[in-house]
Amino acid sequence: MQGNELDVKTLENWLWEAACKIRGPIDAPKYKDYILPLVFLKRLSDVFDDEINRLSQKYGSREIVEQLLAQDHNLVRFYLPKKTRWEEIAKQTTNVGEYLTDAVRTIARENSKLQGVVDAVDFNATAAGQRIISDDRLKELIDVLGRYRLGLDDVDADILGRAYEYLLRKFAEGSGQSAGEFYTPGEVAILMSYILNPEPGDEIYDPCCGSGGLLIKSHLRFKEKYGGDSSLEPLKFYGQEILHSTFAIAKMNTFIHDMEAQIALGDTMNRPAFLTPEGSLRKFDLVTANPMWNQNFPPSTYENDPYNRFIFGYPPSSSADWGWIQHMFASLNEKGKMAVVIDTGAVSRGSGNVGKNRERDIRKEFVEGDFVEAVLLLPENLFYNTTAPGVIIVINKSKRDERKGQILLMNASKLFKKGRPKNYLPDENIEQIADIYLNWIEEEGISKIITREEAARNDYNLSPSRYVAQNGEDDTLPLEDAVVQLKEAEEERAKADAQLKEILKGLGVEL
């Protein structure tokens, strides 16, 4: 198949047929863990074949090229020994799982960059003495996935991202909370790439990169702006992901897009991977992220932090939203900018409360330091693990002069189209929202520019719906925000009780 003929509809039908071949033996949310590595392997094999054909024109024949490649693997992106190529895999009718697992492990040995990536799945694995996926089903799966060519001229480079998006969307119902932990809807990622608007030479970081979608959309935005101008300094990408299977998908994604990317495996909040030789956090030009919302970390995460990240205060253990934001802020250089998707409650919880409130107090520090540039309220029901709308917070360490002392608040809650099972942002609305931000526009019923003084008068409540009212909006405190506030109040009470006990003990009074 030539000329990008694998359009979205064909792709989805193809993947659905592939998923049907392994229905039953594994849970639906795990389909992607088996299908995506095979799509990646097919892409590797077809691109390798393209490269052999290109070299054959230069050196005269495939036989000569094969001899040269055996001596110098660097002539191609990734070297695939003959037994690991798709045409050989497709011939297997017995011991398919064993052959396939051996093939991906051989590829990983030959290409160190692919270790822990292409070989992340054991296709011969058993559970309770039974094969998880039988050879017969694997053979059927390989036959379906072999139907289309995935070479350089056959499909868009975003093939894996689109495949991942489809499989996740199709089977998200079975994923519970997990899907949204590492996946941002494509149109939200595109909007964030417009907001960050990367320039040549920028280093871009995502501390919880999931499948790499936010980094990839920034890469694609840059290509859209500048085309293939090789004279420009390329972007460099850095990401960290805690789940191994998702980390492997992120690595695959960056390889397919030919991105200059370092993806690390590990727990960012407790063990950040990108450090200077002196052991401090590495600084980046841009940060883009969608961390898990209202995550729970123990107080020790903040109190014992060796990287001096939480300078504006410790968030409550019931919600790490402002912990993540402070990590990202600490990872920006002096001119850096970040865009983060987070729970809507992060911009309003605690405002209006009597006395101290940790999240409100941290927000106050960001506002008073003139770091908050914009807050964008998204429509409801865009994300896979929640119907909650979410907000994009833009934080800028180096605002342009005309924006200093100001914050742009945008209520984009009505700028969507109904979809099944989720709503989505159409292209025209993405461009509309991006245009309002990039050109710093007040638009009736959508955006308003406030001063720091106005934010202070509202006790640092930065919820766009407070400033940009739209008909029929419900100001009731969402249940999840009420739970976070209740947990924080309980935590503060426990701390006060402990202090009181210490004082009374010092006075000789035992309770």
pLDDT, position 4: 45
SS percent in the chain: helix, strand, coil, step 5: 45, 15, 40
Q: Say if residue 19's pLDDT is above 80.
A: yes
Q: Which fold has domain 178-469?
A: Rossmann fold (3.40.50)
Q: 190 and 212 in contact (C-beta within 8 Å)?
A: no
pLDDT, position 485: 54
Q: Give the residue-averaged pLDDT of 235-258.
A: 91
Q: 383 and 185 in contact (C-beta within 8 Å)?
A: yes
What would the two tokens of residue 134 be?
A: 């039988």
Residue labelled with tokens 């003495």:
129
Q: 315 and 488 in contact (C-beta within 8 Å)?
A: no
pLDDT, position 91: 95
Q: Give the residue-averaged pLDDT of 18-37.
A: 80
Q: Say if residue 3's pLDDT is above 50.
A: no
pLDDT band at 356 (very low <50, low <70, confident <90, very high): confident
pLDDT, position 176: 45
Residues in the chain: 511
Q: Crossing angle of helices 135-145/96-110, nearest 10°?
A: 60
For the chain, the structural domain boundaries read 8-174, 178-469
More confident residue, 439 or 421: 439
- End-to-end distance of the chain based on CA atoms, in angstroms? 79
- Among residues 119, 102, 45, the alpha carbon closest in space to that of 76 is found at 45
pLDDT, position 489: 60
Q: Give the residue-averaged pLDDT of 377-400.
A: 91
Supply the DSSP symbol for 153.
Answer: T
Q: Say if residue 29's pLDDT is above 70.
A: no
User: How confident is the model over 434-489, as pLDDT tens digits?
Assistant: 999 999 999 999 999 999 999 999 999 999 999 997 664 545 455 555 555 566 56
Q: 291 and 340 in contact (C-beta within 8 Å)?
A: yes
Q: What's the rounded Cα separation, in Å, for the pair 209 and 223? A: 20
pLDDT, position 471: 61
Q: What's the rounded Cα separation, in Å, for the pair 338 and 331? A: 10
- Among residues 18, 12, 66, the alpha carbon closest in space to that of 42 is found at 18
Question: pLDDT exceeding 70 applies to what percent of the chain?
Answer: 90
More confident residue, 150 or 176: 150
Q: Say if residue 505's pLDDT is above 70.
A: yes
Chain centre distance of CA 349 = 25
Q: What's the rounded Cα separation, in Å, for the pair 171 and 179? A: 9
Q: Give the residue-averaged pLDDT of 309-317.
A: 94
Handedness of CA 104, 108, 110, 113 (dihedral sign): positive
pLDDT, position 474: 45
User: How confident is the model over 160-212, as pLDDT tens digits?
Assistant: 777 877 787 676 544 444 444 457 888 999 999 999 999 999 999 999 998 89
pLDDT, position 476: 46
Do domains 8-174 and 178-469 share one topology? The answer is no
What predicted TM-score, i.e. pTM, was given to this entire model? Answer: 0.84
Residues paired with residue 23 on neighbouring β-strands, in sequence order: 26
Supply the DSSP symbol for 380.
Answer: S
Superfamily covering domain 8-174: N6 adenine-specific DNA methyltransferase, N-terminal domain (1.20.1260.30)
Q: 247 and 263 in contact (C-beta within 8 Å)?
A: yes
What would the two tokens of residue 79 be?
A: 């070297």
- Among residues 37, 126, 36, 118, the alpha carbon closest in space to that of 77 is found at 118
pLDDT, position 177: 44
Supply the DSSP symbol for 416.
Answer: -
Supply the DSSP symbol for 277.
Answer: T
pLDDT band at 278 (very low <50, low <70, confident <90, very high): very high
User: How confident is the model over 489-503, as pLDDT tens digits?
Assistant: 666 667 777 777 777
Q: What is the largest CA-CA distance in the chain?
A: 94
Q: What's the rounded Cα separation, in Å, for the pair 263 and 251? A: 6
pLDDT band at 152 (very low <50, low <70, confident <90, very high): confident
Q: Which residues contact 335 (CB under 8 A, 6 or more apart)?
A: 285, 397, 398
Q: Which residues of 464-480 are buried (b: 16+ CB within 10 A; e: fewer)?
A: bbbbbeeeeeeeeebeb
Q: 258 and 152 in contact (C-beta within 8 Å)?
A: no
Q: What's the rounded Cα separation, in Å, for the pair 50 and 157? A: 14
